[in-house]
Amino acid sequence: MPTEIGDDLIELTRSICEKSLRPVVDDVEARAEHEEVFPREVFRTLGRAGLLSLPYPEELGGGAQPYEVYLQVVEEIASAWAAVGVGVSVHSLTAYAVHTFGSPEQQEALLPDMLSGEQLGAYALSEPLAGSDIAAMTTRAVPDGEDWLIRGRKAWISHAGHADYYTTFARTSDDGGRGVSCFVVPGDAPGLSFAAPEKKMGLHGDTVREVIFEDVPVTGDRQVGELGRGVPMALAGLDAGRLGIAAVATGLAQAALDVAARYAGEREQFGRTIASNQGLAFLLADMQAAVMSARATYLQAARLRDAGRPFGTEAAAAKLVATDAAMQVTTDAIQVLGGAGFTEDFPVARYFREAKVTQIFEGTNQIQRLVISRNLLASL
């Protein structure tokens, strides 16, 4: 359960959201649809408040907070600005490999900067032809004495071109899923370049593009974990990452619900507010139930993780339930607002577009169903 410190952190997050995120989100998202605009200063503000490193040990620069608290902070951020909520989740994921699989020397050398609040990471896993099928990746790291040279392309990478480092998975042998390893590549490494930003239907403030590795040199001390164990490392990290996306989706759904409920309580038709119509009131009730279910599901998984118990199935279920809820609640919010919901005068149209991708990244919801069903049947 959240501690007093955890409650204070959630309140601090709400305050920062009100002062630094909500006043600028509409403008940045609108401009970023047509030009490259990345809210780097917003991440610095969150970092200086200690909100980019919450689930990691204090002695390494983290906040030493339970995952339950961290995810509630992510939800609060996402309710104000979904693209930034996604960015916080991605950044946390980038430090996972070093924290969980790195040597003590690597943790001491790398994590303080990663968790300083001044740096922002990117997670270079997916490729143009290797999304959910991680073992199909072709980006390759070849030995160069005691060091490495990485060549290949990564796709759909958040923060690409703006990150200070790239937690990168590359093939070190042709041994299928046992031939992938993990590296931490500095953001200013020679040979590292970027394609044009993807033109997306939402989350415009989250710059996404291909990362191109052209014989990028990486020192041997930045190869993390056992050689060839990159796939299980990535999959373990994605369990935690899925909870981050579940929290983002819950915050997005909550934001849509808040707008819809407020509008329904103010909009009058036939001499009374539309909220007084039972049909619409019941729709709002279903939206509220969906948000509450999403939140309860990700919190259950977080508590298992905090207790050191297996949580992979619960993480997949949380991602599935929360993102499907976000899609449904944002759709219903547009319906509550009617024609106004179809315009840019209210943010629900943006919420709707943003909700769609939550069902896709960190493993599509079809992949989540595959994970859940396999784990269920394996336990019989």
Residue 224 backbone dihedrals phi, psi, to 5 degrees: -100, 135
Mutual angle of helices 82-94 and 348-358, in 10-degree steps: 30
Q: Which residue in the list 76, 127, 354, 362 is annotated as catalytic?
A: 362
Contact 60, 112 (CB under 8 A): yes
Residue 228 backbone dihedrals phi, psi, to 5 degrees: 85, 0
Q: Which residue has the tokens 């924290």?
A: 99
Report helix, strand or coil for 314. helix
Would you call 36 a catalytic residue per the annotation?
no
Contact 42, 20 (CB under 8 A): yes
Cα separation, 65 vs 31, whole angstroms = 35
Q: Which of 210, 216, 229 is nearest to 127 (CA)?
A: 210
Dihedral sign of CA atoms 312, 89, 137, 168 in order: negative
Cα separation, 211 vs 209, whole angstroms = 7
What residues act catalytically?
362
